Structure 1
């Protein structure tokens, strides 16, 4: 285990869980997504502070997502530097995930922002790489730390071998640029074996854990070992 990604779920009073695909587009449409994002960022910083002196969790990163709308409503450099200073955490433990669409919409501003955040010490990840149309053209200008590969490459297709060739090429490109790769959407042990053979560095997905509350996460990974979701945990905290 090297960390986790902060996700949001809307839990109703009756226990029903509304998935983000339902409520996030509504928040984006009405210009409210930045409020949810800020809340999640602050919760992540608060959690990192609580883990700070833990022998296992103290080394973890928490990745948070940045919406393309956030750039319009917030001074992201001011927000993130303020949060890390307020909670007295290492900015390198807060991984900022920025999607390709941010660069397509405001490329110069996004590139300048990333440079400032990196200089401050944040870990920067390009999220959903391969889902847009300008990937290779802007990659040369972006000094990001991590490349997160879109899970679409793992979905079954009649062109499976072509998908594998493209994925292998992306991993090789990232390695040449000195960027570790994270593959999202990993669900099976076979995918882990295949991706390891290709040269992928980090895996994320249901194979290791479905989205869970923080307390469940801490109970499931008390010793820092990533186990398959179906494997029981018998370690003591």
Structure 2
């Protein structure tokens, strides 16, 4: 099922959006880590089914929240490179969205990982441009996790760049990381892209990110991924509440 991890405006602790994350639940309620089944789905080709299922679940949940009068939010949904390269992917995504006309297209973003940069740049750019003709937004996930492939977002127009937690973990005490994050934030700002820091785990990292100009954060300092009911209770029924660790 879809769990939701909040993205927070670190300046004031308010909700800025969420990422939908897949969670498999045993009959006894135990959560199964996605790492135990994602690779298998990629290897057997069924990851596309999961990607489309998650998109449908998120749209359904947003529609439910809207019908209950909850404030609208933007949610990002992960999409694998395998799905992205499927020639039928765009048609499938548009078909799913057509069942939820009450949810504007810009309320959903598709997250692709930095390793999608292994796809030939012209091919990736062409795919994203085709999707964007229908108002579909894209986020580049895990930026900096394996290599700082600046060319991937210098050649492709993303809406959001997400900084990998490997860049954040030692940020308060690492001057090179501070300069790198500041430069990425400035590039994003100059080209109209948002910048979100993943893996924020403590107040020192938060303050270092704000000093570098990054205002949006996501991580355990604010919240673990939550079930729809808990996310609704903590973030939608009290939209003006400010969130820090321990809330």
Q: Does 1:5 align with 2:34?
A: no
Q: Does 1:126 align with 2:137?
A: no
Larger proportion of strand: 2
Q: CA RMSD in A?
A: 2.1
Q: How does 1:27-66 map to 2 (within 5 A)?
A: 27-52=41-66, 56-58=70-72, 60-66=73-79
Offset of 1:32 from its aligned partner? 1.5
* Structure 1: stretches of 5+ with no match in the other structure: 232-237
Distance 2:94 2:128 in 1: 13
Distance 2:87 2:78 in 1: 14
Q: What per-residue deviation string (whole Å, max 9, x for no partner) do you get for residues 83-131 of structure 1?
A: 2221112110001111222232243232112112222222211111122
Match of 1:136 in 2: 150
Distance 1:105 1:164 in 2: 29
Indicate if the aligned counterparts of 1:183 and 1:204 stay in contact, CA closer than 8 A: yes
Offset of 1:157 from its aligned partner? 8.3
Indicate if the aligned counterparts of 1:91 and 1:121 stay in contact, CA closer than 8 A: yes
SS in 1 for 2:37: helix
Call closer, same or farther: CA 1:220–1:115 in 2, change over 3 Å.
Answer: same
**Residue-pair matches, total:** 230
Distance 2:109 2:42 in 1: 22
* Bigger shift: residues 102-111 or 79-88: 102-111
Q: Does 1:191 align with 2:182?
A: no
User: What TM-score, normalized by structure 2, do the two folds share?
Assistant: 0.85
SS in 1 for 2:246: coil
User: What TM-score, normalized by structure 1, do the two folds share?
Assistant: 0.88
Distance 1:138 1:193 in 2: 28
SS in 2 for 1:4: strand
Indicate if the aligned counterparts of 1:56 and 1:223 stay in contact, CA closer than 8 A: no
Indicate if the aligned counterparts of 1:99 and 1:129 stay in contact, CA closer than 8 A: yes
Distance 2:196 2:180 in 1: 15
Offset of 1:185 from its aligned partner? 0.7
Higher relative contact order (CA 8 A, sep 6+): 2
Q: How does 1:66-77 map to 2 (within 5 A)?
A: 66-73=79-86, 75-77=88-90
Distance 1:209 1:134 in 2: 27
* Structure 2: stretches of 5+ with no match in the other structure: 1-14
Indicate if the aligned counterparts of 1:208 and 1:226 stay in contact, CA closer than 8 A: no
Match of 2:28 in 1: 14
